[in-house]
Structure 1
């Protein structure tokens, strides 16, 4: 009687531990936002339905309406644009809301005109992206990287052990 109960208990434990993505990670704090600024050259068939001047027609968007001259940007936006363009990574981020540029928007889902500007400078056109990125607290990241895989592995081993105990009971004649 103890063998079937042990096999069922190990199998149930294994299934529960393997299903841990359903109940983990447990939120242990509020996500912390970061505000990113990215600049990249406009390429063919560019972003958010905008077409570069080399691609004519297409979706009916007027490229001249979407382009902002560098000189027309507010001074703080020009400074952020230059800093992002000159960065080796192609951009930079800030965590303090007070460090954001007041004249720019920071949506979580950027779209042309709201988080994405096409800036023309010295005859070149650039996509200037600004957005809010929600970062998970470190404890949640640790749960995803360490706890979930370990629980899944232990659950798998418990399931295999439950099957072995159940088969041993049947084959052993208990």
Structure 2
């Protein structure tokens, strides 16, 4: 009996192991199928990504071309702006030259005014001297007037004396 029990146990164990092997085989088949599907999906996604990458590369190439064209356009605009600034600089240089000439003219005019001022100062001095002379002449005339007044008084007294003398002579 012991052997029979052992054989029964072994049969049960063999059936159990068979079931486990079947479960493992099904699991392995499922995993294999999933892996194959996964690899197929990865290959599809990789192909899709390659297409998208190619599209992106084309877009980058277009952007690069557009950027190059934009750079050329910007450089041309900057060149035009630089040319305009050069012209403006030239105009400012001409204006500076004109201001320098005007400054020179003002300096000359200032010099002339200084000379005229000097001449006026000299003329003022001469007028002052003439005024002094006139003052002296006025003083002389005043003195002469005084003398003439004195002489008039003398003449008046003399005339009075002559009148008195004539009256005295007539009376004698």
Query: Higher relative CO (CA 8 A, sep ≥ 6), structure 1 or 2?
Result: 1
TM over 0.5, shorter chain: no
Q: TM-score w.r.t. structure 1 length?
A: 0.25
Q: TM-score w.r.t. structure 2 length?
A: 0.25
Structure having the larger proportion of residues in strand: 1
